[in-house]
Amino acid sequence: MMSRDVIDIKAETSELHTDKMWVIMGPQHPFSHGLWTLKARLDGEIVVDAEPIIGYLHRGWEKECENRTYPKIIPMADRLCYAASMTYTHLYCMTVEKALGIDIPEKAKYIRIMADEICRIQSHLMWLAAVGTDLGNLTVFLWAMREREFFMDLNVRMCGARMTTNFPRIGGVRNDIDDEFAMFASRCVERFEKAIWDIIAMIDDSSVFVSRMKGTGILSREQCANLGITGPAMRGTGVDFDVRRDDPYDNYDKMDFEVPVLKEGDSYARYMVRIEELFQSCKIIKQCLQKVKAIGRNAPYRLKVPSKVPAGRAFVRMEDPRGESMMYLISDGTDKPYRLKVRSPIFVNVSAAKPLVLGSRIADVPAVMAMIDMCLGETDR
């Protein structure tokens, strides 16, 4: 009955103008996931100007790292992003390993990849939940959170913690995975690949959901490059780049997976890219399980590493669930880093807030900004 052509129409601008007013959305606003503010200037309901404000969650992370020994930074790196904690720990460990100039055991690499992908699924599911609430539907929120619980349990099986896992170590991982974990992981992934279709069907088959996402928040390739956007938001605009495939770290070059790329550049494309990434992550987890099994039980998973890092610099980048995260380490030969710089993908992606919401209606602002997948822990550091 509600045919697409009737409700698919993009927000129209009008010749009638009203007094423009600033509406401050955040930091205590249901739309801002985490502490950030979007100042939007409204002409009627249409956004004519916008300005993101971040920094409410600044905890001096980088400065704090300068006063800690290298292993003590690992649990702190967990706290950069609670939704995908292992990716940052992994990134930090890789950076220090590069500064040390060591190569970690094969088994540890596969376990780390697997941990990364579990976290990617968790993070994407949390994003899906947020999209549900931003579009005004709580069912999607709770269903996505339900699916996320299974991967939380997988985390517990692997390392004993749900969210802030403290699992990767400099030179390997904290513990080996056992056969029981392999069984649970494959079962969980197979179950998830079926169960996620509930949520996908609910969103994609509903013209209300689709019309809220299609044609909103359009970003072009050029804008994407100029603003430095990375991750699924970039791949939704047609840029075919993924650090995992194009600049592989650990053993991603031995994995068989595809990088989803869509050309439309609207919210719906970003949504589709993330959904497809969920399936690719499942694929990678399954391959990792096989590889770890092939390596055998008694293979080493952790190296002993010196506590002092030789003076020098190290730079590593990796594909975070939200984009490209980088760490830059300067060491002065002691057991504490001289400087540790984090490049957070969201810190850069949030600069797209203005071009994304300009010209759209205020009702679309939450839906459009949800596709950026804000995470303030890593942004403000």
Partner 1 sequence: MAYSSILDWIQFKDVMSNPFYPFESYNLPFDLSYKIWELLGGLIAWLINLIFPGNGVSVWLMSDEISNVFALVVFMIIIFLVVFVVTLLSLWMERKVLGRVMDRRGTMIGLKGFMQCLADGFKTFLKENTIPRKVDKKTYLWTAALIIGTSALIACMIPLSDRWFVVNYGTGLLIIMALFALAPFFILVSGWAQNNKYSLIGGMRAAELMISYEVPMLIMIASTCLLAGSFNINDIVNMQGDTIWFFIPQIIGFITFIFCATAEAERVPFDIAEAEAELVEGWQTEYAGMKWGLIMLADYLRGYVSCAMVVIMYLGGWLIPFVSGGVNGWFPEIVFLLKVWSVFFIMIILRGALARVRTDQIVNIGWKVFMPLSVANLAVVLLLKLGGVF
List interacting residues with partner 1 (CB under 8 A): 1-3, 6-7, 9, 11-12, 21, 23, 25, 29-31, 42, 45, 132-139, 142-143, 146, 202, 206, 208-209, 211-212, 361-367
Determine the angle formed by the axes of helices 179-204 and 138-159, rounding to 10 degrees. 170
Q: Of 119 and 130, which has the nearer Cβ to partner 1?
A: 130
| Min separation Cβ 45 and partner 1, Å | 6
Q: Of 3 and 298, which has the nearer Cβ to partner 1?
A: 3
| Min separation Cβ 208 and partner 1, Å | 5
| Min separation Cβ 366 and partner 1, Å | 4
Q: Of 42 and 316, which has the nearer Cβ to partner 1?
A: 42
Give the contacts of 307 (CB within 8 A, at least 6 positions apart). Answer: 69, 70, 71, 335
| Min separation Cβ 37 and partner 1, Å | 14
Q: Of 39 and 98, which has the nearer Cβ to partner 1?
A: 39
Q: Tell me the H-state helices in the chain.
A: 4-7, 61-65, 73-78, 85-100, 106-134, 138-159, 179-204, 207-213, 221-227, 232-235, 243-246, 267-295, 345-349, 353-357, 365-370, 376-380
Q: Of 38 and 314, which has the nearer Cβ to partner 1?
A: 38
Give the contacts of 78 (CB within 8 A, at least 6 positions apart). Answer: 85, 86, 88, 89, 164, 165, 166
Q: Of 137 and 281, which has the nearer Cβ to partner 1?
A: 137
Distances (CA, A) of 78 to 59, 315, 365: 14, 19, 30
| Min separation Cβ 213 and partner 1, Å | 9
Stated length of the chain: 381
| Min separation Cβ 255 and partner 1, Å | 33
- The span from the CA of 346 to the CA of 175, in Å, is 31
CA angle 349, 353, 359 (to 5 degrees): 145
The token duo for 314 is: 């190290």
